[in-house]
A = this chain, B = another copy of it.
Amino acid sequence: MAELAWNRYGKSSVRLVKVRRSADPHEIVDLTIDVSLEGAFDTVYTDGDNSACLATDTMKNTVYAFAKGDRIDHVETFASALAEYFSKKPGVSLARIQAAEHPWTRLGAHAFVADGQEEWTAAVTRTAGRTSIASGLRGLVVLKTTDSAFSGFPRDSYTTLPETRDRILATSITATWNYADGFGDFGKRSRVRSALLEAFATHKSESVQQTLYVMGAAALAACDGIVDIQLALPNRHHLLVDLAPFGLENPNEIFVATEQPYGLIEARITRT
């Protein structure tokens, strides 16, 4: 016969972004949290009796609700509060909170850049004795906590998205630009990078599309040797958590960072 010797269960990969909007400028905390419990849950396994089985969905909700009331100055103290709370639930003998904090560096008043997987790219094509050179970058991850809107879009029978004048805008920049023939001062590529970042940080955005255009135009203005620039900006949606069921307001403070699906905006900007 079979016997339950050990068990553990919980919720993993709860994505939480908190914006401290009362701070000036805004601050952000970006966490991935795992909750796991051990204890007297044997009959859940052996008898299908769920009366002691705190739903993992409830664990997730608890994380978001606690995030509203905690500044999360240190992830350790936030995790301790969660661990203490869960440890008092019926049957629990051990509660464990694991967290990974994804660091962001301030880029502007309300903008941040992630220490990510940024790479510089280059593509050189030689054909018929002519050399074409393009440079670029990818994996440059940025986020702004305000100055981003999306409204005035058409509504059809499949539209449910509410209009918003204030949302998080986050993306991973991929850019490629072509140099004029004979251009050779490739050290200037960091000026392109700076122009892209500054435009992202300071633009009051009506859409990712508009921000893309402003970024591309800024890059062209920053470096004479560039003839065009192509940008691809995935819209890494941050969804506002509905805290109303827990009697809490959520004035753009607590978000779920999502990976799928994502908007993808691409365009090429040239000199006139």
Residues on A lying within 8 angstroms of B by beta carbon are 1-15, 34, 36, 41, 44-58, 60-62, 65, 74-77, 79-80, 82-84, 86-87, 90, 93-103, 115-129, 131, 133, 135, 138, 150-154, 156-161, 184, 186-187, 205-207, 209-210, 212-213, 216-217, 220-221, 228, 234-235, 245-246, 258-272
Contacts and interface: CB of A to CB of B under 8 A. Distances in A.
Given A55-B153, A135-B76, A260 B262 contact: no
Please report whether the interface of chain A is mostly helix, strand, loop or mixed according to DSSP: mixed
Nearest to A8: B266
Given A58-B158, A115-B115, A116-B117, A209 B123 contact: no
Given A41-B209, A213-B45, A262-B12, A127 B2 contact: no
A101 B121 CA distance: 6
B263 A75 contact: no
18 contacts: A2-B269, A8-B266, A9-B265, A12-B262, A13-B260, A48-B210, A52-B154, A53-B207, A55-B161, A58-B159, A61-B158, A75-B120, A80-B133, A87-B129, A94-B127, A97-B123, A100-B119, A100-B120
B209 A58 contact: no
